Amino acid sequence: MTGTILVAGGNGYIGSHVVVELAAAGFRPVIVDNLANSKPEAARRVAAIAGAKVPLLVGDVRDGAFLDAVFEAHDIDLVIHLAGLKAVGESVAEPLRYYDVNVGGAVGLLAAMRRHRVRRMVFSSSATVYGDPVSVPITEDFATGATNPYGRTKLMIEEILADLVASDPAWRAVSLRYFNPVGAHESAQIGEDPNGIPNNLFPFIAQVAVGRREKLSVFGGDYGTPDGTGVRDYIHVVDLARAHVKAAEALLSGALATGAHLPINLGTGRGFSVLDVVHAWRRATNRPIPYEVVERRPGDIAACYADPRLAASLLDWRAGFDLDAMCRDHWRWQSRNPNGYEEAA
Ligand code: NAD
Ligand code: UD1
């Protein structure tokens, strides 16, 4: 399928992989990003992998005049919206900033889309909208409830999309609820490049493996899970990116013309514990990965994994990479780019 797709936040970790897969599928991606959490080098590498020119338009999704210029210069068919802030702890400390960037950004982008009669959106949501689920696996009809401002911004944006689609059947919107995206493109040219001490498990272990950190702190060994550590549904970022292509194709072809906003889980459907992940990293790297079990992290839940059947039936999408491939590809990226995009190997 062809078409021009505006990828807001397309220079970030997930967005860069989405842009590569869109180009591979025949779309023309256009990146909009304010570089708040990414470096221009990412877009250069994306273009090299894609073997195509990919415009990087630097600006903010809250800037209506900037967006008007983007929509006037490019004949956009659909928007994939990944731009925003994503650190849970920071969102508790600075809630107004999170509501401004995430909710204000989504409203600003949707308003610009309406002005330019573009009415198709794929939105980056999160499994965090399920809060502490009553059971696993999680289906899309589970109760939602956020436990922090970041999660609330995701829920609010989903509700805004639902209201918009209800107000005008010409709109079509899908919210992809990501479980735990990890890994990197197999070329090792693009990947996750967190600032400071990583909050999340994979980037932290990657820095232990490469020797930047001494050991992993395992947050809690007394959960009601098989080995007592937290269980999550890790999903390879390339699988995740391919689901965006499927969602874009389904929205553009009319296959998803349901007249309602659609939330769709993106996960493998399998849960792995923190210790399972440590063992997989040892296999992938042949390095020891020292760890110590410490107190639980406040706000963490015991287990969270997806029922991914809706994505299979509506989008004909299934995850293909297993945990070993996720560790292998994350490690290849980290070991070849020990300081992320700052020092190319
Ligand atoms: P990221 O920080 O790497 O990418 C986000 C990109 O958006 C960055 O390049 C940043 O510079 C840009 N950006 C931020 N604010 C902007 C603004 N106001 N205007 C324009 N650009 C802006 O994050 P990511 O991991 O790629 O996540 C992408 C999206 O997926 C986010 O919305 C995030 O909440 C969501 N998500 C991520 C995860 C995860 O584990 N990484 C899980 C669930 C959902
Ligand atoms: C985190 C976010 C969640 C977001 C998700 C996206 C928090 C509290 N939650 O979820 O909102 O949607 O990322 O991927 O930040 N762990 C350790 N040691 C570490 C880091 C993590 O033991 O140094 C454990 C955690 O306790 C958890 C598992 O590893 O059991 C995964 O943690 P993480 O990668 O931070 O993801 P989530 O907590 O699932």
Which tens digits make up the pLDDT trace of 218-262?
Answer: 999 999 999 999 999 999 999 999 999 999 999 999 988 778 899
Give the model's confidence band at 196: pLDDT under 50 very low, under 70 low, under 90 confident, else very high: confident
Q: Which pLDDT does position 343 carry in this prediction?
A: 54
Does residue 294 line the site of ligand 2, with CB under 6 A? no
Q: Which phi and psi angles does 220 have, rounded to 5°?
A: 100, 130
As for ligand 1, residues whose beta carbon falls within 6 Å of it are: 9, 11-15, 33-38, 60-62, 82-84, 86, 101, 105, 124, 126, 178, 181
Indicate which residues carry an active-site annotation.
150
Q: Which pLDDT does position 268 carry in this prediction?
A: 98
- End-to-end Cα spacing for the chain: 35
Could you tell me how far CA 77 lies from the centroid of its own chain? Answer: 21
Q: Ligand 1 centroid vs 84 CA: distance in angstroms?
A: 5
The whole-number average pLDDT for the span 152-168 is 97
- For ligand 2, atom 6, the nearest C-alpha belongs to 180
- The proportion of the chain whose per-residue pLDDT surpasses 90, expressed as a percent, equals 93
The whole-number average pLDDT for the span 96-112 is 98
Strand boundaries in the chain, DSSP class E:
4-8, 28-33, 56-58, 78-81, 120-126, 172-178, 180-182, 216-219, 231-232, 234-236, 262-266, 272-273, 291-294, 303-304
Q: Which pLDDT does position 93 carry in this prediction?
A: 97
Are the C-beta atoms of 29 and 56 separated by less than 8 Å?
Answer: no
Q: Ligand 2 centroid vs 273 CA: distance in angstroms?
A: 11
Q: Ligand 1 centroid vs 87 CA: distance in angstroms?
A: 10
Q: Which pLDDT does position 345 carry in this prediction?
A: 43
Q: Which pLDDT does position 7 carry in this prediction?
A: 99
Tokens at 262, concatenated: 């659609």
Are the C-beta atoms of 62 and 105 separated by less than 8 Å?
Answer: yes
Does the pLDDT at position 183 exceed 60?
A: yes
Are the C-beta atoms of 231 and 270 separated by less than 8 Å?
Answer: no
Omega before 137 cis (within 30°)? yes
Give the start-to-end residue ranges of the domains of the chain. 4-344
How do residues 20-58 score in pLDDT, each as one tens digit? 999 999 999 999 999 999 999 999 999 999 999 999 999
Place of tokens 């415009």: 55
Specify the CATH architecture of the domain 4-344.
3-Layer(aba) Sandwich (3.40)
Does the pLDDT at position 62 exceed 90?
A: yes
Are the C-beta atoms of 115 and 65 separated by less than 8 Å?
Answer: no
What's the mean pLDDT when you consider all of the chain? 96
Neighbour tally for 307: CB within 10 Å: 18
Does residue 217 line the site of ligand 2, with CB under 6 A? yes
- The proportion of the chain whose per-residue pLDDT surpasses 70, expressed as a percent, equals 99
- For ligand 1, atom 28, the nearest C-alpha belongs to 82
The whole-number average pLDDT for the span 185-203 is 94
**Residue bearing the bigger pLDDT, 97 or 147:** 97
